[in-house]
Chain A
């Protein structure tokens, strides 16, 4: 799969790297001539004919063209001349959105609509880190300029925003997306445009598995990470033998369920109930009754916030609170709000959830970032989920540092592939590799009783295999 995307973008990279190489105009002209005159096999590169220059050549010269015949010779000479003129103007050779003193980033997330809480504070947190960098003089002499857009967390809006940022604003890179389905919809476009994109805080699996060259994400873990953490915690800490699982019938739920099943079955735990429910369900009586009838010794939930609350209410209502309830992060973005919405302290007597951030374990870290947030946005009290905007910005800043003064989109991608950073805010290292686009594989498990959060011993790590 990676092969396909990498093939598609090879021609773009070759062209761009040739354009950047200012060591000699002859090399540049040779590269341009080579690009135009060498016919590209459609079988070898299915998207090759989509480039404007190539389609023109193919239209006018069905034999494949070349610079030797007199007409083509004149044309090649003009192209070479144009390239030389372009080289004579400093700055034009760089990637769009990049100058000697500025990097333009397209930053986006849901800033309105029903999913605003996933994006507003995280986006402001990322913006805050960029402003910190600018206040300290920038990165290698370049300050970060942001173009901020609202994607509403819907695929249509996000793709429109991405296209606008790339084609109208001409940003250097994209940083955004809080919802996986929406981000995944833009994946083909950004790869086709060779446009690096780091997700803001979307955690979904289908945007990073299988990995594609220009899309980096899962800075707070994927569903596979959460599923593995819940399953390992059930086995290692709770000594479970009979587990029930409830997830949604979408990509999130499928990824979670596959990983939970693989992890539990590998360790000899029987799955006595596996319920898949629609995200818009408004009565969880039926799945809860089926789980109760299966008599599990632990319940693992990968539900979203609203169904997670309904499920916790019903779990307490049916007197199941002796059975530990383990909830993945996405269902409890704000523990205090979750407790308030559940409205029944009994439901949280035996309740645990995954958490990707170190702010619960380390109060000093939490206070540091809250203080920083309040210094930039004094009128707003952030929701606990604001921390989810930090890791992606930290990694992007680290990659800019690593890429050095001679920055380009390709050198940025290369730097991202070498990222392996330990931050004070995350449960584990944030790392990428040439064949890896999911950043975080370690999470904590936290016990929450409605008022107090207690981090359970150890860090739970996905092995990179279960559920793939």
Chain B
């Protein structure tokens, strides 16, 4: 019986952890490319879910079209925010030392703005749920039970990770984004359109958050406050390393499994505090995370 508990805890933890990992990927991409910690990451998750719901219920499009529409909408939202708000703030900065603070505060405001806009829609008064990506009888992996949607979450996470690997390593745009993140001035000198790259990075990261929202909405009910999941993504990114894309994925999955172990071996009441406990321990013992580089002091 105990082995069954642990097997199921690991299987479910991997699924939950994949969602944390996607949101963490979104945070890390923005951090690596612009040095900004995006506190609106959770609200971009929420936005993706609600755009998906809107597309399904009002426009009655197919699931595939809904998926594409939601991803495009969140990509556009993130990119416009970077260009209009962050670009303006950067353009008016007076001191390089204080540059990051207004940018980070702007992301906090962006999060509240998105939440307020979604709440203004009457349809969001009630708790809602997106239908699962794939439905059907559950699948047994050994003794553990997983829903088909759970398998889809794992599959989408793997696809996103693979696509990002290809994008950053084998495409010109991806390499240009990496160059921009490593040294913006040098990138500009060799002709890379830095502003456009930063905008693209925000759009890409927002789109990943939107995908996480669509995957999360069938499992975790939709409310304008569902973006609180970003705290778990922060924990995942800190565990894996805030500068490491593979690290944050591993951190997310590890966090999902640890949460279930804590729930079973200690108490379900301890599940909510586990991520924060882990954050403190990791920051004390290895501030750069398991796979990250040392964080430069200029970063907020």
Contact = CB atoms under 8 A, between A and B. Distances in A.
A289 B5 contact: yes
A249 interface: yes
Given A280-B272, A286-B264, A343 B9 contact: no
B263 A310 contact: no
Contacts of A317: 138, 145, 147
Contacts of A283: 12, 16, 256, 259-260, 271
Contacts of A309: 127, 129, 221
Interface string B134-160: 000010000001010000000000000
Interface string A230-254: 0000000000000000000100000
Contact of B268 (A113, A116, A117, A281): A281
A101 interface: no
Given A117-B125, A310-B220, A282 B264 contact: no
A321 interface: no
A117 B224 CA distance: 13
Nearest to B5: A289
Contact of A285 (B12, B125, B128, B221): B12
B174 interface: no
A112 B223 contact: no
Nearest to A318: B145
Contacts of B218: 343
A305 B129 CA distance: 12
Contacts of A112: 119
Nearest to A278: B272
A71 to B, nearest CB: 59
A120 B126 CA distance: 11
A277 interface: yes
B151 to A, nearest CB: 13
A277 B228 contact: no
B12 A120 contact: no
Interface in A265-296: 275-278, 280-287, 289-290, 293
Contact of A341 (B13, B221, B229): B221
B271 A289 contact: no
A383 B127 CA distance: 12
B87 interface: no
Given A249-B269, A280-B228, A286 B125 contact: no
Contact of A117 (B16, B126, B220, B260): B126
B226 to A, nearest CB: 9
Given A275-B268, A305-B127, A343-B131, A282 B224 contact: no
A253 B198 CA distance: 48
Interface in B262-289: 262-264, 267-269, 271-272
A462 to B, nearest CB: 26
Nearest to B265: A286
A289 B8 contact: yes
Given A290-B264, A306-B221, A340 B129 contact: yes
Interface residues of B, number: 39
B5 A341 contact: no
Interface in B205-237: 218-221, 223-225, 228-229, 232
Contacts of A120: 125
A318 B219 CA distance: 15
A38 B60 CA distance: 76
**Which of A276, A281, A283, A293 counts the most chain B CB atoms within 10 A?**
A283
Contact of A289 (B125, B147, B220, B264): B264
Contacts of A284: 268
**Which of A112, A114, A276, A317 counts the most chain B CB atoms within 10 A?**
A114
B119 A113 contact: yes
Contact of A310 (B8, B147, B221): B221
Contacts of B131: 343
Contacts of A249: 269
A257 to B, nearest CB: 12
Interface in B1-51: 1, 5, 8-9, 12-13, 16
Interface string A338-353: 0011010000000000
Contacts of A117: 125-127
A401 to B, nearest CB: 34
B260 A285 contact: yes
A54 interface: no
A334 interface: yes
Contacts of B260: 283, 285-286
**Which of A113, A120, A287 counts the most chain B CB atoms within 10 A?**
A287
Interface string B238-269: 00000000000000000010011011100111
Contacts of A35: none
A293 B1 contact: yes
A411 interface: no
Contacts of A306: 127, 220-221, 223
A89 B129 CA distance: 61
Contact of A277 (B12, B224, B225, B268): B268
A341 B263 CA distance: 24
A289 B9 contact: yes
B132 interface: yes
10 contacts: A114-B223, A283-B12, A285-B260, A286-B259, A286-B262, A286-B268, A293-B5, A318-B145, A337-B126, A343-B129
Top 6 A-B residue pairs of the complex, sorted by shortest distance between their CB atoms: A286-B263, A285-B12, A278-B272, A287-B268, A341-B129, A277-B268
